[in-house]
Homo-oligomer: A and B are copies of this chain.
Amino acid sequence: METRRDHDPASSAEEKFAEYLALRGKRLSRAQRELVRYIFSYHDHFTATKLIDDIRAKGMKISRATVYRTLARLVDAGLLRTHRFEDQVAYEHQYGYPEHDHLYCRNCGKIVEFTAPQLAELREHVAREHRFRAQSHRFIITGLCESCALQQARRRKVDFI
Q: Which residues of A contact B (CB under 8 A)?
A: 82, 84-87, 103, 105-106, 112, 114, 116, 118-119, 122-123, 126-127, 129-146, 149
Contacts and interface: CB of A to CB of B under 8 A. Distances in A.
Which residue, A123, A132, A133, A134, has most C-beta atoms of chain B within 10 A?
A132
Contacts of A87: 84
Contacts of A86: 82, 84
A127 B114 CA distance: 10
Q: How many copies does the complex hold?
A: 2
A3 B118 CA distance: 42
Contacts of A85: 84
Given A84-B84, A127-B143, A106 B122 contact: no
A126 B103 contact: yes
Contacts of A106: 135
A136 B127 contact: no
